[in-house]
Amino acid sequence: MSDPRTPRARKAGLRYVFPVAAGKLARFATRLRGGGSAFPGYLTNRLSPSLLPTLAGQFDHGVVFVLGSNGKTTTTHMVSEVLRAHGLTVFTNPTGANLPQGVTSALLADATLTGRVRADVAVLEVDEGYASELADLLSPSVILSLNVQVDQLYRFYETERVADMMLEASTRATHHVVINRDDPYLSKVDASRMIAPVSFFGVAPEIVAESAHGLANATDTRSGEAGAIAHPAFAEVVAVAGREITVTVDGSAVPITLPAKGLHYAADAAAALTVAARVLGAGFDAASAGRGFANMAPAYGRGEVIPLRNDAQGEQVEFVMFKNAPSMQMNLDALDGAPERLLLAIDEGTPDVSWLYDVDLDGIDHVDVVTGEKAYQLALRLEHAGIPMGLVEPDMEKAVAYMRSLPDTTTGRQTWFVNYELMMIGRRILGHGDQEVARR
Amino acid sequence: MTLRQAQGAIVKIVQLYPQELGVTGDRGNVRALETRLERAGIPVEVVHVGIGDATPADADVVILGNGPLSAMRIVADDLRARRDELSAAIDAGVAVLAVGAGAELLSDGVALLDGEVLDGLGILPLRVERTRERRVGYVIADTVHGRLIGFEDHASEWALGEGAEVYGTVVAGKGSFPRGAGSGETIRVRNVFATNVQGPVLPLNPQLSDEILRIAAERRGHSYRAGAEHDALNALAAGARKAIEDRVGDEVFTYMKV
Ligand SMILES: [Zn+2]
């Protein structure tokens, strides 16, 4: 029945003391060196392949997988906070630790020496490429698939393969499959292949139509039907006013505040509410859900501002993170007018930047400094759009010094559009490198 | 930025299937040509042609972009129906840039991993074999027009037939076909350039853009030459090219196998 290579799930217990202790020691050592390395998890998985599967049976409310091209970390965080606001203890993996070794590293952080994790539910973001493998190990009760976007072609080659990876993993969900009904590939889920019933989430069509570039999900080039096929949504975004949105969940209105503006975050919120309502059943409560979202914003590095010159009263920096064309486009579409002062940055953490030419840059009217290792590629793109630039400076430190040298903005806030790696570097330069920041 | 007053006959750029074959910034190749013509004061028009649309009879440049296999399958029949028109245009000296899947569709055929062969239009003397190993990273090739520089990301090996002129000799990166002891990248057949170079290729390679524009502009009685009004574009391209030359050979994250 099961693959003989799949380690058999056992219960947490004494047999795990040695591998867990070794992993915890490795974790301690790598953290002393200042790294959040996946090595401890890798080591422990090698020493004891059956440890990770013990997680499967440990949570009363089961294991939730969050899959998607964009928004995994954000949504994992949303689901976790909403469940916490309902009184549950949540086990989760940190930012981007979404490979098997990352999940084990998270386990090592929280587990007792016998491998026990004291939590009611596990909410895990999982890399699409490992989703089925991890589902075989962890028997998730709920699998959420957020979206399929043109992303990481150097890794996945073809966008529809990513859709297939998510839908294949979803056949393993034991209780609920949660699907974005507005995603062209995902909306074509074959419900008859699933063990569990399918719940859809989405954004009301008139709201999508108002957005300059819709939801930026990948066009279906396979089935002959390019767009999504209609499904009634269990949770639907029905009103958006900046960060304040309303989502109907199973017919009831749930008002919430998003961690940052953007239709992509609204869609993530509908996804998170669907998952939470399915996990909690009758225990789901709109007020608690709203509290969960309220808790998440400040501690999260989104919608958060950081002082430009270590002066809390002075000029502030708002970071906006992108990782590919869809996320850059959605963030540009969410701007309130062209930023008064703008830093744009991209480095080798984004290997191929051909997609920069697929992004519509109408939302900005100038850039003050273009920076990062790929500053010239980015600047070349801007020049082709006729967007004036103040300075092209690949060195982020020098770019920040330049931004500090400019007069203050009338709004007291400048905007930095950065990829993940440069967000971390930018935060460190501003003296905020200590905090973990979610990779979108 | 300076702009010459646009005058004279309009140069027409046709992009085929921008929806389906446009996942790697292919719009940028069109934009590069358009921008350089605008700055040279040569009037330019861009026409997008989708499935079922008529083929414009008076194209000076045709751009075919990149896309997944499913997109190739979806446009293949429509493109085959345009074969004679496309062939005649190429014989008449129209410039064509075909990138990735676009180049493969013009070939004699694409052998897929499962043994199936996707028939191409047979316009380029070229056979394509999809490979298990993917070629990803920066690529640099020496050409008669200078260094061709960009990003490669494909799982294919080309076998060149009679009449395919090798355009580039790879000096860094993997390339698309064997050449001597090393490899080659990009072929030229008449004024058709078929390549696996992304970036997109034309913004990063003003020398190739200028070759294509010289051909296209001449068809309309213009004498195109890059001038001071292209300095900003060229300087930024030079910066981007230098950064790539300095980074070439770096490891790219590719652990997924087909
Ligand atoms: Zn400014």
Would you list which residues of B are annotated within the binding site? 134
Please tell me the predicted confidence (pLDDT) of residue A153: 66
Contact B239 A221 (CB under 8 A): no
Q: What is the pLDDT of residues B73-98, one digit of tens each?
A: 999 999 999 999 999 999 999 999 99
Its CATH architecture, for the domain B11-247, is 3-Layer(aba) Sandwich (3.40)
Cross-strand partners of B13 = B46, B61
Please tell me the predicted confidence (pLDDT) of residue A298: 44
Residues 6+ apart with CB under 8 A from A306: A316, A317, A319, A427, A430, A432
Q: How many of the other CB atoms lie within 10 Å of CB of A434?
A: 7
Q: Higher confidence at residue B35 or residue A94?
A: B35
Q: Residue-wise over A4-26: b if at least 16 C-beta within 10 A, else e?
A: eeebebbebeebbeebbebbbeb
Please tell me the predicted confidence (pLDDT) of residue A8: 55
For A286, the token pair is 């709109």
Please tell me the predicted confidence (pLDDT) of residue B253: 46
Q: Which of B31, B70, B154, B205 best probes binding to A when mutated, by most A CB atoms within 10 angstroms?
A: B70
Residues in chain B: 258
Return the domain boundaries, chain B.
11-247
Q: Are B215 and B92 in contact (CB under 8 A)?
A: no
- Residue A254 CA to its chain's centroid (Å): 22
Contacts of A130 in chain B (CB under 8 A): none
Residues 6+ apart with CB under 8 A from B135: B152, B153, B154, B155, B173, B174, B175, B196
Q: How far apart are CA A40 and CA B21, in angstroms?
A: 43
Please tell me the predicted confidence (pLDDT) of residue A53: 74
Please tell me the predicted confidence (pLDDT) of residue B3: 56
Residues 6+ apart with CB under 8 A from A173: A65, A135, A140, A141, A142, A143, A194, A195, A196
Instruction: Give A425 to chain B, closest Cα distance, Å.
Output: 20
User: Which of the 8 DSSP states describes residue B190?
Assistant: T
Contacts of B74 in chain A (CB under 8 A): 221-222, 224
Separation of CA B1 and ligand 1 centre (Å): 18
Asked if the peptide bond before residue B200 counts as cis, ω within 30 degrees of 0, the response is: yes
> Per-residue pLDDT averaged across B11-34, rounded?
95
Please tell me the predicted confidence (pLDDT) of residue B258: 30
Question: B71 phi and psi, to 5 degrees?
Answer: -70, -35
Give the residue numbers in A contacting B (CB under 8 Å), as ranges: 129, 150, 153-160, 219, 221-222, 224, 226, 348, 351-358, 373-377, 379-381, 383-384, 386, 392, 394
Instruction: Give B143 to chain A, closest Cα distance, Å.
Output: 21
Q: Which of B30, B256, B258 best probes binding to A when mutated, by most A CB atoms within 10 angstroms?
A: B256
Query: Strands, E, within A79-137: which ranges?
Result: 90-92, 121-125
pLDDT by residue for chain A (440 residues), tens digit each? 344 445 555 677 777 777 777 777 777 766 655 555 667 777 777 767 777 777 778 889 999 999 998 888 889 999 999 999 999 999 988 776 777 777 777 777 777 777 777 889 999 999 888 899 889 988 999 999 999 987 766 666 678 889 999 999 999 999 999 999 999 999 999 999 999 999 999 999 999 999 888 888 888 888 888 899 999 999 999 999 989 999 999 999 999 999 888 899 999 999 999 999 999 999 999 999 999 998 875 444 455 689 999 998 999 999 888 888 888 998 898 888 999 999 999 998 888 999 999 999 999 999 999 999 999 999 999 999 999 999 999 999 999 999 999 999 999 999 999 988 888 899 899 988 765 555 43
Separation of CA A200 and ligand 1 centre (Å): 42
pTM, two decimal places: 0.86
Q: Write the DSSP assignment of A173-237 as a string of letters.
A: -SSEEEEETTSTTGGG--GGG-SSPEEEEEE-HHHHHHSTTTT-PPP--SSS--SPPP---SEEE
Would you list which residues of B are annotated within the binding site for substrate? 134
Please tell me the predicted confidence (pLDDT) of residue A279: 96
Q: How far apart are CA A278 and CA A284, in angstroms?
A: 8
Provide the Cα torsion A386, A391, A392, A397; round to 10°. -150
- A158 vs B70, B136, B240: nearest CB: B70
Please tell me the predicted confidence (pLDDT) of residue B107: 97
C-alpha radius of gyration, chain A, whole number = 22
Contact B236 A358 (CB under 8 A): no
Provide the Cα torsion A355, A361, A364, A366; round to 10°. 70
Instruction: Give the 3-state secondary structure of residue A429.
Output: helix
Please report how many Cα atoms fall inside a 13 Å half-sphere around the Cα of residue B13, on the Cβ side: 27
- B200 vs A159, A357, A373: nearest CB: A357
